Amino acid sequence: MSTERKKVTVPELKEMKARGEKIAELTAYDYSTALLVDRAGVDVILVGDSLAMTVMGLDTTVPVTMEEMLHHTRAVTRAVERCLVVGDLPFLSYQASREEAVRNAGRFLKEAGADAVKLEGGRNMVDTVKAIVDAGIPVQAHIGLTPQYVAQLGGFKVQGKSEEAAQKLIEDALALEAAGAMSIVLECVPGSVAAVITKELAIPTIGIGAGPECDGQVLVYHDMVGLFERFVPKFVKQYANIKGEIMRAVGEYVKEVKEGAFPEEKHTFK
Protein backbone atom coordinates (compact mmCIF):
# COMPACT_ATOMS: atom_id res chain seq x y z
CA MET A 1 0.00 0.00 0.00
CA SER A 2 1.31 3.46 -0.94
CA THR A 3 2.05 5.80 1.97
CA GLU A 4 2.16 8.83 -0.34
CA ARG A 5 -0.10 11.64 0.92
CA LYS A 6 -1.55 13.47 -2.07
CA LYS A 7 -1.47 17.24 -1.78
CA VAL A 8 -4.85 19.01 -1.77
CA THR A 9 -5.23 21.28 -4.81
CA VAL A 10 -7.34 24.32 -5.63
CA PRO A 11 -9.54 22.48 -8.21
CA GLU A 12 -10.05 19.68 -5.68
CA LEU A 13 -11.69 22.09 -3.20
CA LYS A 14 -14.31 22.95 -5.83
CA GLU A 15 -14.78 19.24 -6.56
CA MET A 16 -15.27 18.59 -2.84
CA LYS A 17 -18.07 21.15 -2.79
CA ALA A 18 -19.66 19.61 -5.90
CA ARG A 19 -19.76 16.15 -4.31
CA GLY A 20 -20.93 17.48 -0.92
CA GLU A 21 -17.71 16.68 0.96
CA LYS A 22 -17.07 19.23 3.72
CA ILE A 23 -13.72 21.06 3.83
CA ALA A 24 -11.81 21.29 7.14
CA GLU A 25 -9.59 24.38 7.39
CA LEU A 26 -7.59 25.35 10.48
CA THR A 27 -4.95 27.94 11.29
CA ALA A 28 -1.32 27.05 12.06
CA TYR A 29 1.58 29.44 12.49
CA ASP A 30 4.63 27.23 13.20
CA TYR A 31 6.38 24.01 12.12
CA SER A 32 5.41 21.68 14.96
CA THR A 33 1.74 22.68 14.97
CA ALA A 34 1.53 22.48 11.16
CA LEU A 35 2.98 18.95 11.30
CA LEU A 36 0.19 17.82 13.65
CA VAL A 37 -2.56 19.65 11.79
CA ASP A 38 -1.40 18.28 8.42
CA ARG A 39 -1.10 14.67 9.67
CA ALA A 40 -4.48 14.85 11.48
CA GLY A 41 -6.34 15.19 8.18
CA VAL A 42 -7.04 18.91 7.83
CA ASP A 43 -7.51 19.95 4.16
CA VAL A 44 -6.42 23.60 4.26
CA ILE A 45 -4.02 25.38 6.64
CA LEU A 46 -4.49 29.11 6.96
CA VAL A 47 -1.47 31.01 8.21
CA GLY A 48 -3.85 33.65 9.49
CA ASP A 49 -3.00 37.17 10.53
CA SER A 50 -4.81 36.15 13.74
CA LEU A 51 -1.27 35.20 14.79
CA ALA A 52 -0.95 38.90 15.67
CA MET A 53 -3.27 38.21 18.60
CA THR A 54 -2.67 34.52 19.44
CA VAL A 55 1.13 34.44 19.02
CA MET A 56 2.27 38.08 19.23
CA GLY A 57 -0.14 39.26 21.96
CA LEU A 58 -1.43 42.26 20.01
CA ASP A 59 -5.00 43.59 20.44
CA THR A 60 -5.92 43.43 16.73
CA THR A 61 -4.53 41.98 13.50
CA VAL A 62 -3.77 45.44 12.09
CA PRO A 63 -0.07 45.84 13.09
CA VAL A 64 1.29 42.51 11.76
CA THR A 65 3.75 42.93 8.87
CA MET A 66 4.52 41.11 5.59
CA GLU A 67 7.89 39.98 6.97
CA GLU A 68 6.26 38.48 10.07
CA MET A 69 3.61 36.70 7.97
CA LEU A 70 6.24 35.29 5.59
CA HIS A 71 8.38 34.11 8.53
CA HIS A 72 5.45 32.09 9.96
CA THR A 73 4.31 30.82 6.56
CA ARG A 74 7.81 29.45 5.84
CA ALA A 75 7.77 27.52 9.11
CA VAL A 76 4.38 26.01 8.23
CA THR A 77 5.19 24.98 4.65
CA ARG A 78 8.33 23.15 5.84
CA ALA A 79 6.04 20.76 7.74
CA VAL A 80 3.21 20.26 5.28
CA GLU A 81 2.79 17.23 3.02
CA ARG A 82 -0.93 17.23 2.21
CA CYS A 83 -2.65 20.48 3.21
CA LEU A 84 -3.18 23.37 0.83
CA VAL A 85 -1.47 26.32 2.55
CA VAL A 86 -3.05 29.78 2.43
CA GLY A 87 -0.99 32.80 3.50
CA ASP A 88 -2.97 35.73 4.89
CA LEU A 89 -2.13 39.09 3.31
CA PRO A 90 -1.70 41.51 6.25
CA PHE A 91 -3.34 44.92 6.55
CA LEU A 92 -1.95 47.45 4.03
CA SER A 93 -0.08 44.85 2.00
CA TYR A 94 -2.80 44.86 -0.73
CA GLN A 95 -4.96 47.97 -0.27
CA ALA A 96 -2.64 50.72 -1.57
CA SER A 97 -2.37 49.53 -5.20
CA ARG A 98 -3.01 46.46 -7.35
CA GLU A 99 0.71 46.23 -8.24
CA GLU A 100 1.67 46.09 -4.59
CA ALA A 101 -1.06 43.50 -3.94
CA VAL A 102 0.22 41.24 -6.75
CA ARG A 103 3.86 41.55 -5.59
CA ASN A 104 3.02 40.84 -1.95
CA ALA A 105 0.75 37.93 -2.87
CA GLY A 106 3.55 36.55 -5.05
CA ARG A 107 5.99 36.73 -2.14
CA PHE A 108 3.85 34.22 -0.21
CA LEU A 109 4.34 31.70 -3.06
CA LYS A 110 7.94 32.54 -4.06
CA GLU A 111 9.50 33.15 -0.66
CA ALA A 112 7.35 31.10 1.71
CA GLY A 113 6.05 28.15 -0.35
CA ALA A 114 2.33 28.93 0.16
CA ASP A 115 -0.21 27.68 -2.38
CA ALA A 116 -2.64 30.60 -2.16
CA VAL A 117 -3.31 33.88 -0.35
CA LYS A 118 -6.29 35.27 1.54
CA LEU A 119 -7.48 38.85 1.63
CA GLU A 120 -10.37 40.67 3.29
CA GLY A 121 -13.04 42.69 1.50
CA GLY A 122 -16.00 42.49 -0.87
CA ARG A 123 -16.72 44.44 -4.03
CA ASN A 124 -14.04 47.01 -3.04
CA MET A 125 -11.47 44.22 -3.58
CA VAL A 126 -12.80 42.74 -6.83
CA ASP A 127 -10.17 44.37 -9.09
CA THR A 128 -7.40 43.38 -6.67
CA VAL A 129 -8.58 39.76 -6.55
CA LYS A 130 -8.72 39.69 -10.36
CA ALA A 131 -5.19 41.10 -10.67
CA ILE A 132 -3.76 38.55 -8.23
CA VAL A 133 -5.62 35.65 -9.86
CA ASP A 134 -4.49 36.85 -13.33
CA ALA A 135 -0.91 36.61 -12.05
CA GLY A 136 -1.54 32.91 -11.35
CA ILE A 137 -2.03 33.16 -7.61
CA PRO A 138 -5.13 31.52 -6.09
CA VAL A 139 -7.10 33.79 -3.75
CA GLN A 140 -9.32 32.92 -0.81
CA ALA A 141 -11.61 35.90 -0.18
CA HIS A 142 -12.97 36.86 3.27
CA ILE A 143 -16.21 38.76 3.94
CA GLY A 144 -18.57 39.37 6.87
CA LEU A 145 -16.59 40.28 9.96
CA THR A 146 -13.27 41.34 8.46
CA PRO A 147 -10.93 42.03 11.41
CA GLN A 148 -8.58 44.29 9.39
CA TYR A 149 -11.53 46.72 9.07
CA VAL A 150 -12.21 46.67 12.84
CA ALA A 151 -11.95 50.45 13.18
CA GLN A 152 -14.60 50.96 10.48
CA LEU A 153 -16.84 48.16 11.78
CA GLY A 154 -16.67 49.53 15.33
CA GLY A 155 -15.63 46.23 16.90
CA PHE A 156 -15.78 42.46 16.37
CA LYS A 157 -19.53 42.16 15.61
CA VAL A 158 -21.83 39.86 13.64
CA GLN A 159 -22.35 41.23 10.10
CA GLY A 160 -25.22 40.96 7.59
CA LYS A 161 -28.04 41.04 10.15
CA SER A 162 -30.36 43.46 8.33
CA GLU A 163 -31.93 42.51 5.01
CA GLU A 164 -29.93 45.24 3.27
CA ALA A 165 -26.62 44.13 4.82
CA ALA A 166 -27.38 40.50 3.95
CA GLN A 167 -28.10 41.45 0.34
CA LYS A 168 -24.77 43.34 0.19
CA LEU A 169 -22.92 40.26 1.45
CA ILE A 170 -24.57 38.08 -1.20
CA GLU A 171 -23.59 40.60 -3.91
CA ASP A 172 -20.03 40.76 -2.52
CA ALA A 173 -19.75 36.95 -2.66
CA LEU A 174 -21.02 36.78 -6.26
CA ALA A 175 -18.63 39.55 -7.34
CA LEU A 176 -15.64 37.84 -5.69
CA GLU A 177 -16.50 34.54 -7.39
CA ALA A 178 -16.74 36.32 -10.74
CA ALA A 179 -13.33 37.91 -10.07
CA GLY A 180 -11.81 34.43 -9.74
CA ALA A 181 -11.65 33.77 -5.99
CA MET A 182 -11.11 30.06 -5.25
CA SER A 183 -13.21 30.13 -2.04
CA ILE A 184 -14.74 32.63 0.37
CA VAL A 185 -14.44 32.77 4.16
CA LEU A 186 -17.71 33.93 5.76
CA GLU A 187 -17.00 35.22 9.26
CA CYS A 188 -19.71 36.01 11.84
CA VAL A 189 -22.60 35.96 9.41
CA PRO A 190 -26.13 34.68 10.23
CA GLY A 191 -26.48 31.01 9.27
CA SER A 192 -29.42 31.77 6.98
CA VAL A 193 -27.35 34.30 4.97
CA ALA A 194 -24.38 31.93 4.75
CA ALA A 195 -26.75 29.21 3.48
CA VAL A 196 -28.00 31.46 0.64
CA ILE A 197 -24.44 32.44 -0.35
CA THR A 198 -23.33 28.79 -0.26
CA LYS A 199 -26.20 27.80 -2.55
CA GLU A 200 -25.54 30.65 -5.00
CA LEU A 201 -21.80 29.95 -5.48
CA ALA A 202 -19.95 27.19 -7.32
CA ILE A 203 -16.82 27.89 -5.24
CA PRO A 204 -16.72 26.70 -1.62
CA THR A 205 -17.75 28.87 1.31
CA ILE A 206 -15.71 28.36 4.49
CA GLY A 207 -17.57 29.42 7.61
CA ILE A 208 -16.36 30.74 10.93
CA GLY A 209 -19.38 31.65 13.02
CA ALA A 210 -21.52 31.24 9.89
CA GLY A 211 -23.47 28.05 10.66
CA PRO A 212 -23.47 24.49 9.33
CA GLU A 213 -24.59 25.12 5.74
CA CYS A 214 -21.16 26.37 4.59
CA ASP A 215 -19.09 24.02 2.43
CA GLY A 216 -16.35 23.97 5.05
CA GLN A 217 -15.36 25.38 8.40
CA VAL A 218 -12.30 27.22 9.68
CA LEU A 219 -11.28 27.84 13.27
CA VAL A 220 -8.27 29.40 14.93
CA TYR A 221 -6.15 26.50 16.28
CA HIS A 222 -5.41 28.26 19.56
CA ASP A 223 -9.15 28.71 20.21
CA MET A 224 -10.20 25.13 19.45
CA VAL A 225 -7.49 23.42 21.49
CA GLY A 226 -8.02 25.77 24.47
CA LEU A 227 -4.71 27.62 24.27
CA PHE A 228 -5.96 31.20 23.87
CA GLU A 229 -8.56 32.23 26.40
CA ARG A 230 -8.24 36.04 26.45
CA PHE A 231 -11.38 36.11 24.31
CA VAL A 232 -13.39 33.02 23.28
CA PRO A 233 -16.07 33.85 20.67
CA LYS A 234 -19.49 32.13 20.81
CA PHE A 235 -18.78 30.18 17.61
CA VAL A 236 -15.70 28.42 18.99
CA LYS A 237 -15.92 24.81 20.13
CA GLN A 238 -13.02 23.86 22.41
CA TYR A 239 -12.03 20.29 21.52
CA ALA A 240 -9.29 20.14 24.17
CA ASN A 241 -7.91 21.99 27.16
CA ILE A 242 -4.26 22.21 26.16
CA LYS A 243 -3.71 25.21 28.41
CA GLY A 244 -4.66 23.12 31.46
CA GLU A 245 -2.33 20.29 30.42
CA ILE A 246 0.58 22.66 29.76
CA MET A 247 0.06 24.42 33.12
CA ARG A 248 0.04 21.02 34.85
CA ALA A 249 3.24 19.85 33.11
CA VAL A 250 5.14 23.12 33.63
CA GLY A 251 4.03 23.29 37.28
CA GLU A 252 5.26 19.74 37.87
CA TYR A 253 8.61 20.54 36.18
CA VAL A 254 9.10 23.63 38.38
CA LYS A 255 8.25 21.60 41.52
CA GLU A 256 10.69 18.82 40.62
CA VAL A 257 13.50 21.28 39.80
CA LYS A 258 12.99 23.10 43.10
CA GLU A 259 12.91 19.79 45.03
CA GLY A 260 15.93 18.34 43.17
CA ALA A 261 13.74 15.47 41.86
CA PHE A 262 14.67 16.31 38.24
CA PRO A 263 16.99 15.37 36.58
CA GLU A 264 17.25 11.72 37.65
CA GLU A 265 20.15 9.38 36.92
CA LYS A 266 18.56 8.25 33.62
CA HIS A 267 18.67 11.87 32.37
CA THR A 268 22.35 12.27 33.25
CA PHE A 269 25.36 11.47 31.00
CA LYS A 270 27.95 9.08 32.51
What are the residue numbers of the active site?
187
Strand partners, 183: 140
Q: Is 220 in the site for ligand KIV (CB under 6 A)?
A: yes
Count CB atoms within 10 A of the CB of residue 115.
22
Determine which residue in the list 8, 13, 26, 49 makes contact with ligand KIV, applying CB under 6 A: 49
Q: Binders of ligand KIV: how many residues, by CB under 6 A? A: 12
CA dist., res. 46 & res. 219, Å (int): 9
CA dist., res. 148 & res. 160, Å (int): 17
Residues in 134-173 at the binding interface with ligand KIV, rule: CB under 6 A: 142
Strand partners, 143: 186
Q: Is 109 in the site for ligand KIV (CB under 6 A)?
A: no
CA dist., res. 192 & res. 166, Å (int): 9
Q: Do strands 84-88 and 116-120 pair parallel, antiparallel, or not at all (unpaired)?
A: parallel
Piece of the chain touching ligand KIV by CB under 6 A; list 46-54, 159-167, 192-200, 228-236? 46-54
- Full DSSP string of 104-119: HHHHHHHTT--SEEEE
Determine which residue in the list 44, 89, 185, 225 makes contact with ligand KIV, applying CB under 6 A: 185
Determine which residue in the list 46, 84, 117, 194 makes contact with ligand KIV, applying CB under 6 A: 46
Minimum CB separation of residue 256 from ligand KIV in Å reads 37
Give the helix/strand (H/E) hosting 197: helix 191-200
Q: Is 208 in the site for ligand KIV (CB under 6 A)?
A: yes
Minimum CB separation of residue 173 from ligand KIV in Å reads 15
Minimum CB separation of residue 216 from ligand KIV in Å reads 11
Minimum CB separation of residue 49 from ligand KIV in Å reads 5
Q: Which is nearer to ligand KIV, 86 or 166 (CB)?
A: 86
Give the relative orientation of helices 191-200 and 163-178 as an angle to the nearest 10 degrees: 30
Q: Which is nearer to ligand KIV, 29 or 195 (CB)?
A: 29
CA-to-CA separations, 95 to 23, 102, 119, 120, 201, in angstroms, rounded: 29, 11, 10, 10, 25
CA dist., res. 190 & res. 183, Å (int): 18
Minimum CB separation of residue 83 from ligand KIV in Å reads 15
Q: Do strands 44-47 and 23-27 pair parallel, antiparallel, or not at all (unpaired)?
A: parallel
Q: Which is nearer to ligand KIV, 45 or 109 (CB)?
A: 45
Determine which residue in the list 27, 33, 93, 159 makes contact with ligand KIV, applying CB under 6 A: 27
Piece of the chain touching ligand KIV by CB under 6 A; list 48-56, 157-165, 226-234, 259-267? 48-56
Give the helix/strand (H/E) hosting 207: strand 205-208
Q: Is 205 in the site for ligand KIV (CB under 6 A)?
A: no
List residues binding ligand KIV (CB under 6 A). 27, 46, 48-50, 88, 142, 185, 187, 208, 218, 220
